[in-house]
Amino acid sequence: MHDTGRRAKLNYMVQCLPTCLDVSFAALSDATRRGVLEQLGRTDASITELADTFHMTLTGMKKHVGVLEQAGLVTTQKVGRVRTCKLGLSRLAAETAWIEDYRRLWASRFEALDHIVEELKQREALDERGRTD
């Protein structure tokens, strides 16, 4: 019963969230954008401050911030001539659930493999004992 719920959730994510997941993972695939998220996790920053921190042009940083904003990971607010960035509302819940489902899948497969290896070791030990008797 519990497995059915997990499959339904995974099916929903596969069918209904690919665009959302694609945008999020594309945004997270870049080291600079991950660095921006880490920086904004500590404190809000202007695009100019972020560009300076990452030794980039303003245009380059604006593009990175735009990708993060499209994914909902960053929000910006313009006050006067300064555009301030802060972490967005996305808490990566769908992405975390997707990763967790695959983590569980691989964990169960490795557990099954461990059982097979253990059975083979036991058989091998029995065969060795049988040959020495």
Domain limits, the chain: 2-132
Return the CATH class of domain 2-132: mainly alpha
Q: State the pLDDT at residue 82.
A: 94
Which has the higher per-residue pLDDT, 5 or 106? Answer: 106
Cα 123 to Cα 117, 119, 127: the distances in Å are: 10, 6, 6
Residue 64, pLDDT > 90, answer: yes
Q: State the pLDDT at residue 1.
A: 45
Contact 88, 68 (CB under 8 A): yes
Q: Angle of helix 18-28 relative to helix 2-16, nearest 10 degrees?
A: 80
Whole-model pTM: value is: 0.70
85 pLDDT tier (thresholds 50, 70, 90): very high
Residue 29, pLDDT > 80, answer: yes
Residue 10, pLDDT > 60, answer: no
